[in-house]
Amino acid sequence: MIRRQTNDKIPNFHQRSSLWSKCTTLRKLRQIHAYMVVNGFNTSKFNLRELIYVSALVIPSGISYAHQLFDHITQPDRFMRNTMLRGSAQSPNPANTVSLFTQMERRGIEPDRYTFPFVLKACTKLSWSILGCAVHGKITKHGFDENTFAKNTLIYFHANVGEIEIASALFDSSATKQVVAWSTLTAGYTRRGNLGMARKVFDEMPEKDLISWNVMITAYAKMRQMESAKALFTQVPNPDIVTWNAMIAGYVTSGMHTHALQMFDEMTRVGEQPDEVTMLTLVTACTDSGDLDIGEKIHRSVLSLGGGKLSILLGNALIDMYAKCGEIDKAFKIFNNMKEKVLTTWNSIIGGLAFHGDSEEAINVFKRMRKIKITPNEITFVGVLVANVAMRVGFKKVKNFSIL
């Protein structure tokens, strides 16, 4: 059990020691924790705060370890609790934030202006509108509704999963409107498809950050209003990868594949490095258009970007592209060279082989798949069925279908 120390000073985390600044992995954190226990440093609240802070917010996937630490602290202070709320809200399981907050309330621990915003962010992530509205009531009850951090989070919650009218009213009542509030309200209107109001708020912004530009451009692109998206794009001072990807995806969604490829060429010409999202979008464009030459160009760019390696998503997309462009041999080569395969990978190549008349190879791939204990689904069986029909093999003769 970790013992508490009663007279520690509150640490300044902006001046963290070199020991903690070097702690960037869970393994290093465990080593430091073990060192603290062996040498008796785990009685210091300063060190406990650092442990919680680093594991919950700094170390990737360290939140589980943070929960283990937190559960063994006899009397965690408010900073530790708020840090756990914040880390849990950002984690893949934000419901833990609500559990921690409920625990605080049961134990009569008084919240501060930072406590509620983390709970609201978890409610937003979970789309828990009723609980979020209850938290809004608690913020008002405790007198934090005029706190800038709390108000911005309330605007964020209501703009995303609550009432957009409440978000707008909160925004209008703000004495000082920060850029984040403008961007949040704009995004709230775009999510509800109200581009008119979103553009009104956007145009009224005294200062526009890159997030604001990206929100509005992405909204136009998703609604296939590419002229409006392009008009805004040309005004962005320094577009980033998100801006470029929004434009490329918008053109692909709108069926304007040539424009998407032109945007990609322009992007590389100005020195912006594409990412996996860019390449997946472009491969999709080539698949839809059936443009093999451009598809091969994109394939080369993908390999260059990944140092010759393919992610599962890009590998699957390229298999699908080559199969639909009539180059099943190239699709099969990519499949065989992929070190990691998931069910969708197997389905793509089985379907591709079957629809190109290479039924025997499709069945062989299916057998390989079953041999390594990968469970097929309906899509798998469609591909195998097509292969068997093509081979004119009766359904009852196919042992592979006994799993049905």
The pLDDT value given to residue 20: 66
- The proportion of the chain whose per-residue pLDDT surpasses 90, expressed as a percent, equals 68
Coil, helix or strand for 391?
Answer: coil
Q: Does residue 397 have a pLDDT over 80?
A: no
What gap in Å lies between CA 89 and CA 123, rounded to an integer? 9
Coil, helix or strand for 11?
Answer: coil
Q: Does residue 394 have a pLDDT over 50?
A: no
Least confident of 34-48, 61-75, 328-342: 34-48
Would you report the helix, strand and coil content of the chain in percent, each value rounded to 5? 70, 0, 30
The rounded mean pLDDT for the chain is 88
319 vs 307 pLDDT, higher one = 319
Average pLDDT over residues 390-401: 50
Q: Does residue 7 have a pLDDT over 60?
A: no
The pLDDT value given to residue 226: 97
| Residues found in the chain | 404
pLDDT digits (tens, 9 = 90+) for 343-359: 999 999 999 999 888 98
- The DSSP result for 48-96, as a single string, is HHHHHHIIIIISTT-HHHHHHHHHTBSS--HHHHHHHHHHHHHSS-THH
The pLDDT value given to residue 305: 77
CB contact set of 19 (below 8 Å; sequence gap of 6+):
32
- The proportion of the chain whose per-residue pLDDT surpasses 70, expressed as a percent, equals 91
- Which pLDDT band holds residue 129 (cuts at 50, 70, 90)? very high
- Which pLDDT band holds residue 309 (cuts at 50, 70, 90)? confident
- Residue that is written with structure tokens 């020195």 in the block: 271
332 vs 2 pLDDT, higher one = 332
The pLDDT value given to residue 34: 87
Whether the CB-CB separation of 210 and 200 falls below 8 Å is answered with no
Helices (H) and strands (E) in the chain, counts: 23, 0
- Which pLDDT band holds residue 18 (cuts at 50, 70, 90)? low
What gap in Å lies between CA 265 and CA 283, rounded to an integer? 14
Average pLDDT over residues 248-265: 93
- Which pLDDT band holds residue 308 (cuts at 50, 70, 90)? confident
Average pLDDT over residues 122-140: 96
Q: Please tell me the pTM assigned to this model.
A: 0.74
